Amino acid sequence: MFNIPVIIGSTRRDRQSIKAGKFVHSELSKNKDVTTELVDLLELDLPIMEERLRFRNDAPNQVTQFSRMIQKADALVIVSPEYNNGYPGVLKNALDYLLPEYERKPFGFVTVSAGSFGGLNCLAQLRLICLGMGGFPIPESLTIAKVQNLFDEQGLPTEPLLYSRTKDFLDEVLWFTEAVVNQKNKKKQRAA
């Protein structure tokens, strides 16, 4: 089984990207080889980072909880809206708490915007910080434009193409997850 949490990078009032995040999470959870959970930064409510977790002995419980979720992940999916060509500060605040937890893990990015470009600028930034964190940004992405029109009241896509685009994206997340996990297992076996 591969553990692939979905991080929701928006805590904004009336946030729209939660719809994309819940849909991607629900599609991912249909895969019998995957365990997944929603890591909602709104619920986690992490304080402003004063220092990285590994240099603290007084870390708040939510930070430790966040670390555990990322530590046991084989790969991560991050859902992020685009704010002023970038990603939300609340997401960077959360990510900066950790480092070894990300090492050599594939990252798939879902970016969301109200406009027509689906968050391409924040996607580029997320890929860059992913490298800084020691992760592998996968080539495939899921960019979601005009998010406010794309989901119905049940949270299902109003645009059928979103199903196949999400499948293609998640298939790639799975491909890289399996490749990296296999390699890590091979290394462990050799060392044993």
Ligand X SMILES: Cc1cc2nc3c(=O)[nH]c(=O)nc-3n(C[C@H](O)[C@H](O)[C@H](O)COP(=O)(O)O)c2cc1C
**Residues near ligand X (CB under 6 A):** 10, 12, 15-17, 81-85, 112-115, 117, 147
Provide the minimum distance between the beta carbon of 36 and ligand X in the complex, in angstroms, as a whole number: 20
Residues 150 and 24 sit within 8 Å (Cβ to Cβ): no
Q: Pick the closer one to ligand X by CB: 16 or 166.
A: 16
* 3-class DSSP assignment, residue 136: strand
CB of 66 to ligand X, least distance (A): 19
CA 191 distance to own-chain centroid: 31
Task: Give least dist CB 113 to ligand X, A.
Answer: 3
- The position carrying tokens 């990015």 is 109
Which is closer to ligand X, CB of 166 or CB of 177?
166
Rounded distance between C-alpha atoms, residue 146 and residue 151, angstroms: 10
Compute the distance between CA of residue 132 and CA of residue 7 in angstroms, rounded to an integer: 18
| Number of helices and strands in the chain (H, E) | 6, 8
- Which one, 10 or 166, has the nearer CB to ligand X? 10
Kindly tell me which of 38 and 117 has the beta carbon lying closer to ligand X. Answer: 117
Closest-CB residue for ligand X? 81
- Taking the complex as a whole, the smallest distance from the CB of residue 148 to ligand X amounts, in Å, to 6
Task: Specify the residue, 113 or 177, whose C-beta has the smaller distance to ligand X.
Answer: 113
CB of 164 to ligand X, least distance (A): 23
DSSP string covering 1-48: -EE--EEE----TT-SHHHHHHHHHHHHHT-TTEE--EEEHHHH-PPP
Identify the helix (H) or strand (E) that includes residue 107: strand 106-112
